[in-house]
Chains A and B, each alone.
Chain A
Amino acid sequence: MTPIAPEHAVALAAVLFLLGLIGVLVRRNAIFVLMSLEIMINATGLAFVAAGAAWGQPDGQVMFLFILSMAAAEVSVGLALVLRMYSRFKTLDTDAADTMRG
C-alpha cells in the first residue's frame, strides 16, 4: 500500500472547505447554507484524519469523531431553527430574516 502524500489530502480538505465557504457566502436559502456548513465541517474532519494518518496516530480519527458528533448536534438544532424560521417568516431567505439589524 503506497502511502498518500499527506499534503495532497490536506489540500483536498482545503478545497472542500473553501467550496463550502463559497456556498455559505453565496446561497440565500437557509437549507443550502446549512448544507454548505456540513461540507465545511466534513472538510475539517478530513484534514484531521489526514494529519493523524501522517503521524501514524489515532488522535486524528478521535478528533474526527468529535467533529462528527458536533456536526450531528449542529445539524439537528440548525434544521429545527430552519423550520422555526419558515413558520415565522414564511420563507427560507436568510436576507429576509434581518430583524436583528442594529
Chain B
Amino acid sequence: MTVIFYLSAIIAVAATFLAITRTNAVHALLYLAVSLLAVAMVLFTLGAPFAAALEIVIYAGAIVVLFVFVVMMLNQGTATIRRERAYLTPSMWIVPGLLTLVLFAELVCVVAWVPEAAGAPAEAIGPKAVGMALFGPYAIAVEMASLLLLAGLIGAFHLGRRDEE
C-alpha cells in the first residue's frame, strides 16, 4: 500500500508538472487527467474509497470533458501553440518560482511542526460513514452546496448565451 502511495504521488507530481508546461491544450488536458487519476489512487490508499471514486467520476470525468469541449469550441490551432511557446519565456518563471519556493518552505515547516495525529487508524472510511456525516451534522452545508451549484448553473447559462446585440 505504501509503495502504491509513493508511486502514485510521483506520477501525480510529474503529470501535473507536465500539464502546466504544455503548449498544446489537449496534451495538457491529458496530463491533467493522468494527474487526477493518480490523486484518486492516493485518496484510495489514504482509506477514502468514496472520495477516490468521486475524484475519477467528477474531476477526471466531468470537468476534464468540459475543458475538452471548450478547447474544441475555441479551435486552438498550431498558431496558438506557437504563441503559447512565445509566452513561456524562461524569465517568466523567475518571480513565480521564487514565490512558490518561499511558500513551499513555509508549508514544509508547517507540516513538520504539526503535532503527531492521534494514532492514524488503518481501516478505510467507507461511503456509509461519509453519508451519515453529510446528511447529519452537515445537512445545512449540503443545502448551501446545492444553492451554489444552482447559482453556477444559472451563471453559466447566462454567460454562455450568445450576445443579442
Direct A–B contact present (CB less than 8 angstroms): yes
How many whole Å from B108's CB to the nearest CB in chain A?
A: 7
Asked whether, in the complex, the Cβ of B1 is within 8 Å of the Cβ of A1, the reply is yes
Count the B residues whose beta carbon is within 8 Å of the partner chain — how many? 83
Asked whether, in the complex, the Cβ of B104 is within 8 Å of the Cβ of A35, the reply is no
Which listed residue (B36, B84, B118) contacts A42, Cβ 8 A? B36
How many whole Å from A88's CB to the nearest CB in chain B?
A: 9
Asked whether, in the complex, the Cβ of A56 is within 8 Å of the Cβ of B108, the reply is no
Asked whether, in the complex, the Cβ of A72 is within 8 Å of the Cβ of B149, the reply is yes
**A window 21-72: CB within 8 A of B:** 21-23, 25-29, 31-32, 34-36, 38-39, 42, 45-46, 49-50, 52-62, 64-66, 68-72
Query: Which A residues are closer than 8 A to B by beta carbons?
Result: 1-4, 6-12, 14-23, 25-29, 31-32, 34-36, 38-39, 42, 45-46, 49-50, 52-62, 64-66, 68-77, 79-84, 86-87, 92-93
